Amino acid sequence: MAFAGVDTTQLLVTAMKVARENHRIIANNISNVDTPNFTPTKLDFQTTLRNTLDGQGRVSLRKTQPQHIERSVSRPEFERLSFLSKNDYNKVDLEEEMANLDANTSRYTTYGSLVVKQFDMAKNMLTALR
């Protein structure tokens, strides 16, 4: 996914912010693993990142009926999961959520490491100019 005209540092910092929001959503799913009728939420990482970089930071709600009014809210992009896994109609798959949490943590750590590398390169370049 290309982000023409976006500073690399800005891209990485924004990606870290989106990953932080994704962590909050995944943690909420995990904390509701035993809540009857709970439907987990999943963040659309790339769409939310693009919207945030474009200054939108908004998500359009999905219309399920043609007569529904178009509306948008200031929230991350997400999709409702639709599988059933337990008799209490709780749709949280704990193993999947833990895997998502691990992948998201890795993504956040990688972005942070790349930001540090960028600042180290700038520091080294300025030191070499003395």
pLDDT digits (tens, 9 = 90+) for 102-123: 999 999 999 999 999 999 988 9
In the chain, pLDDT over 70 holds for what percent of residues?
A: 72
Domain presence at residue 68: yes
| CA distances to 6, 27, 77 from 69, in Å | 34, 31, 18
The model's pLDDT over 34-91, given as tens digits with 9 standing for 90+, comes to 999 899 999 999 889 988 888 876 543 344 556 555 544 445 555 555 454 566 888 8
Kindly state whether residue 2 falls inside one of the protein's structural domains: no
Give the chain's domain count: 1
The answer to whether residues 56 and 48 touch, using CB atoms and an 8 Å cutoff, is no
Evaluate whether residue 3 is within a structural domain.
no
Write out the residue range of the structural domain in which residue 42 sits.
8-128
Q: Is residue 1 part of a domain?
A: no
Q: Report how far apart, in Å, the C-alpha atoms of 47 and of each of 2, 21, 83, 88, 117 are.
A: 12, 13, 23, 32, 26
Evaluate whether residue 107 is within a structural domain: yes
- Whole-angstrom distance, CA of residue 122 vs CA of residue 125: 5
- To the question of pTM greater than 0.75 for the whole model, the response is no
